[in-house]
Structure 1
Amino acid sequence: MIKKIARKVINTFKKKPEQYLLHDKFWVQKVSTETIVDRISFFENIAKDKNVLHLGCNDWPIFNPSYNLHIKLSKQAKSIHGFDVDLEGIENLKKYVNQNYYSEFNQLAGNVYDVCLVPETIEHVDNVRTFLEGLSTINSEVFYITAPNCFAKKHIERNFYGNNEFIEVVHPDHNCWYSPFTLKNQIEKYSNLKVDKVFLLDGDTMVCCQASKK
């Protein structure tokens, strides 16, 4: 039964483009995307020899120094600053990367970055609008903002209907799911950024918006 439901949901995303013409144009949102196989290598290439600000650097609550992204990026970047509201986590991360850390946007005044990386963070925040308004104050040449893709085949297959319940496999601290359109839409609606490119990372499990100041 579970597999049958999963196949039905996945097949809805295999429709030919002309089938969407059955819907009024108001409802049809098209987003051009590029696919990236390995998101870690993608992030490392972005950071290489650059001055980087990394938001959500702690990887709470599953911190592991062997695969922590901030530690990996520190080996590629010219300089790297971390940003996280988890102050205890920051103190721990300092043992591995001894550079500047911040927990409030106003602490970043005067700092200039080549890259601002915001990976898998926006789905955790309490107020997306306030978060994106804060992101707008950062002086960076380019921004990369990512979130899990709600329409990824992997994510769809592992969620299903039980007996009078919906079984969802998701991080318990997530407040929402994003799609290529909704992530792009919120960034451009609530910040002073414009989205220049949209990537699907690790196949299609993550959406990544590359953005710059308007």
Structure 2
Amino acid sequence: MSRRRTPPPQPWIPIRRLEPRHRHRLTAHLLALSPQDRYRRFGHVASDAQICRHVAQLDFRRDELFGVFDARLRLIATAHLACPPADLSHDIGAEFGVSVLPDARGLGLGRRLFDHAALHARNRGLGRLYIHALAENTAMLAIARAAGATITRSGPEADAWIELPPETVASQVEQWLEHGAAELDYGLKRQMHRLSGWWRRQPSGARAEDESAN
């Protein structure tokens, strides 16, 4: 009898919650998407002006937005957890949307952002997660299908509903730990980015002297 192979552990990916001060980074990320990627993310080829208006109108108090930053503090992947207003039933659920820059694809960032958003939705007492995607967006639908979603198709579009388990002490602790680790990671990247910028601004002679001393 052959043994079932245990899948290798996935590397930890630091996901940081975005705040209003990150609007410019989020705008730059979305503007970097190709027309096809904009079509898949928004359901139409959003213009630069439409993207700028979209980011300007985001409600960071009601919704939750998450991002993955690279070593240069470039926002390479983002997720939007659009939550229902506080006066509506939480049974309505939250809508999930994600975008990943081309050079960061194939690393599992979309799936990791989905898991992260689902955890936050659970801890807000939301019972369901909703995804609206184009039927051609196989990557998004694969994420939903792997999470056990019920998917319905209507022409070129598809809707997916994922039932979420209730929050627990363990899920709250997991969210707290991930938040702290992501903040630490971002702080380290920011310090390294600042040091790198300072080093590049030094005269070439000073850099050469320092390198020879090492």
Given the two structures, how large is their TM-score scaled by the length of structure 2?
Answer: 0.32
Which structure dedicates a bigger proportion of its chain to helix? Answer: 2
Which is bigger in relative contact order (C-alpha 8 A, separation at least 6)?
1
Which structure dedicates a bigger proportion of its chain to strand? Answer: 1
Higher-Rg member (1/2): 2
Given the two structures, how large is their TM-score scaled by the length of structure 1?
Answer: 0.32
